[in-house]
Amino acid sequence: MMDLNFLHPYFLGPKAENLDCFERFLLEFLRDHAYWRRNFHPGDGNVVPTSAPYRDAFQDFIASMRKELQELSAELKNAAPFYSPRYIGHMNSDLLMPGLLAEIMTMLYNPNNVAAEAGPATVPRELEVGWQLARMFGYNTDPQKGSVVAWGHLTSGGTIANYEGLWNFREVKFYPIALATAARVTGIDFESVGPLRRRLSEYSSWELVNFSIQDTVKLLEESSKQVNAMALSDGELQRFRNQIDRETLVGLGHADFFAKHREIRPPKVVVPITAHYSWDKAVKVLGLGLNNLVLVKTDKTMRMRMDHLQELLAGFEKDRVPVLAVVGVLGSTEFSSIDPIDQIIDLRDEAMDRGTYFGVHIDAAWGGYMCSLFRREETNQFCQREEVGEDLKHFPSEDTYEAFKAVGESDSITVDPHKLGFLPYPCGAFVARNMDVVDFISQKASYLYDIKDDRGTKNRYDKLLNLGQFIMEGSKPGAAAAAAYVSHRVIPLNKHHFGRIVKVTIKSCEYFYSKINHLAYRMKKRVLIKIPFFPQTNIICFAINPKNNRHLALMNFFGRKVFEKIKINRFKPLQMKEFIGSYTSMVKGKIDDELASEVLADLDIDPQTFQTDVIDPRRQADHIFLFRHSLMSPWLLHRFEGKNYIDHYVAYLERMIHEELDALGESS
């Protein structure tokens, strides 16, 4: 068994064991803040007189404030007990003390990370968090080591980070066309700058939408140098810049842009069927069209199927449809499956050789922090597979290992510090391999064509301090940046520190897996219990089918009955719950029929009973109901009364299944 002692100082603890320490820190920094106030112009005297608390109106106000706060405090306790190892539901757990303390302490100062002026301590820390994450992913952060340097920033969550991934790709992808059109109109043409081997005006639209991100960045940089060397008059320069701005996709809007460039079709966004629903929202919000979101089938481990992806991409290439992005999921929300990132990268590189390009974005909202388990402390080198798998039975499989190894070759990544980073909401992050992409976002790209305008030529890093110009959000919490920064400083993102927490979650999942299999064996006379997808990381799903039942509707009904016991019910006190879990459904139409049939056959269910046209809620058969557990709590392997929490849960589950089977027997 694993030694969990290292975790003891990390969290407040399920029983608030570290309350004393937590309180002392809070008090220290609360007072520190108060003295800061007092020492700013100490001679000013008090505004709130010392006699104020003795007035009735003051007392009344305090009383009403106390009442409201107490009510709030009482109702907050209806929340799921995320801190408890009895909570094995969604992606929530106890929070890291350093993060929580930094967050609360920073909130007193209310920094706004829209710009360094409003968050002088927290904006630089936010950028540093971006680099900490980038290094964990294997992106270059050192300008000495290469011209492509990564950057990252925090968002309200993975959803916004996913939007940003597409937004960034779109602005870069359609820039060369805008530049070429402006060049044609103004008569300013370019040759042999950046990736150009011919004059810019000689490139076809298809070629221009297939420039790589790196090439487009170079094109912008070097064409601007050439323009600056042309010594144009102010008027000519202004005209050129205005023309570019007018010709961009965001300048014209989608409708006019594609009407003007009829030879170019609106682009596709390719995601696996396991993709989070934020991808649906992303294409809606960005006006790309739900119709252009293309779903790739998965294999029976819920990983994206490469043969299907390849087939789709070949079709688009043949029909000359640009592909904006292929999104690989690193740790899917429902199954924590790991898409073959390495093979997606290979496909991108092969496509590049043929003159087509798509960006690769990794949605690692859940799995991003698992990368810490693969990095050595001193050198940040990627570890050998055996090294990663020490103390573990299955993880990382060869496929998983290769996928993680290729993460640094993607173009951008979404990661949620408020999930597996154990930090408070809101804290998502967007990390991009090439920081120069921000020039296309700030709507200042055309300003680069004028050396006299310091907005374009400012130091590459300094400009990032005006964060709000390059991201979706405006005003945003500096406290979240403080939390992530302090947490990453004291628990660095490598296998010797943060990686150990990740390892505990994976170990818990492996243990859970073996226990469910034991349970299935013990109960085989009465029920079939199956784990349809071997858990690749730290989320596990299983289904329970009463023996001899062949109808999906009944299996779903039975599953839901048992699930009632571990489901949050807002009309019942949570204290009455032994454990709290979550579920997922594989919906007909979304999941591939072939795959569904395999899963159902394994459960002895007749695949014909998987159908959409049954309305009776007791007979729902348009989905496959699965128990789903995120094994994120760091304390699941803690033992009491001779067993750990997983043992206790599985024993409880066994009792509940018997109970429901008995009830089912009586009712039939």
Ligand X SMILES: *Cc1c(COP(=O)(O)O)cnc(C)c1O
Beta partners for 294? 270
Which residues of the shown chain bind ligand X in the complex (CB under 6 A)? Answer: 157-159, 162, 276, 278, 329, 332-333, 363, 365-366, 416, 428
- Rg (alpha carbons) of the chain, rounded to whole number: 28
Q: Which is nearer to ligand X, 365 or 435 (CB)?
A: 365
Closest CA to 465 of 493, 435, 421, 443: 435
Q: Which is nearer to ligand X, 158 or 194 (CB)?
A: 158
Shortest distance, CB of residue 366 to ligand X, whole angstroms?
4
Total residues belonging to the chain: 668
Q: Tokens 């092969």 appear where?
A: 350
247 vs 456: CA distance, rounded Å: 19
Q: Which is nearer to ligand X, 280 or 593 (CB)?
A: 280
100 vs 402: CA distance, rounded Å: 34
662 vs 428: CA distance, rounded Å: 46
Closest CA to 204 of 263, 257, 125, 248: 263
**SS3 call for 152:** strand
367 vs 400: CA distance, rounded Å: 11
Q: Which is nearer to ligand X, 205 or 332 (CB)?
A: 332
Shortest distance, CB of residue 185 to ligand X, whole angstroms?
41
Q: What share of the chain is helix, strand, coil (3-state, %, to 5)?
A: 50, 15, 40
Backbone angles phi, psi at 528, to 5 degrees: -100, 125
622 vs 617: CA distance, rounded Å: 11
Shortest distance, CB of residue 598 to ligand X, whole angstroms?
24
Residue pair 536/397 in contact by the 8 Å Cβ criterion: yes
Shortest distance, CB of residue 369 to ligand X, whole angstroms?
12
Shortest distance, CB of residue 552 to ligand X, whole angstroms?
27
Specify the amino acid at residue 397.
Answer: S
Q: Which is nearer to ligand X, 194 or 367 (CB)?
A: 367
Specify the amino acid at residue 459.
Answer: N
Shortest distance, CB of residue 331 to ligand X, whole angstroms?
6
Q: What angle, rounded to 10 degrees, do the helices at 645-667 and 552-564 form?
A: 120
Q: Which is nearer to ligand X, 174 or 366 (CB)?
A: 366
Q: Which is nearer to ligand X, 365 or 599 (CB)?
A: 365
Q: Which is nearer to ligand X, 178 or 423 (CB)?
A: 423
Q: Which is nearer to ligand X, 223 or 633 (CB)?
A: 633
Shortest distance, CB of residue 571 to ligand X, whole angstroms?
26
Backbone angles phi, psi at 527, to 5 degrees: -140, 160
Shortest distance, CB of residue 416 to ligand X, whole angstroms?
5
Shortest distance, CB of residue 316 to ligand X, whole angstroms?
24
Half-sphere exposure of 128 (CA within 13 A, CB side): 17
Residue pair 165/183 in contact by the 8 Å Cβ criterion: no
Residue pair 369/406 in contact by the 8 Å Cβ criterion: no
Q: Which is nearer to ligand X, 345 or 423 (CB)?
A: 423
Q: Which is nearer to ligand X, 119 or 157 (CB)?
A: 157
Beta partners for 390? none
Q: Which is nearer to ligand X, 294 or 490 (CB)?
A: 294
Shortest distance, CB of residue 570 to ligand X, whole angstroms?
21
Q: Which is nearer to ligand X, 179 or 341 (CB)?
A: 341
Shortest distance, CB of residue 295 to ligand X, whole angstroms?
15
Shortest distance, CB of residue 425 to ligand X, whole angstroms?
8
Shortest distance, CB of residue 418 to ligand X, whole angstroms?
6
Q: Tokens 């489901």 appear where?
A: 567
Residue pair 521/16 in contact by the 8 Å Cβ criterion: no
496 vs 232: CA distance, rounded Å: 57
Q: Tokens 């952060």 appear where?
A: 141
Shortest distance, CB of residue 415 to ligand X, whole angstroms?
10
Q: Which is nearer to ligand X, 168 or 278 (CB)?
A: 278
Residue pair 622/612 in contact by the 8 Å Cβ criterion: yes
Beta partners for 270? 294, 326
> What does the DSSP assignment read for 445-489?
GGGGG-TT-HHHHS-TTGGGGSGGGSSS-SS-BHHHHHHHHHHHH
Beta-carbon neighbour count of residue 547 at 10 Å?
A: 12
> What does the DSSP assignment read for 89-140?
SSS----BHHHHHHHHHHHTT--BTTSTTT-TTHHHHHHHHHHHHHHHHT--
**SS3 call for 60:** helix
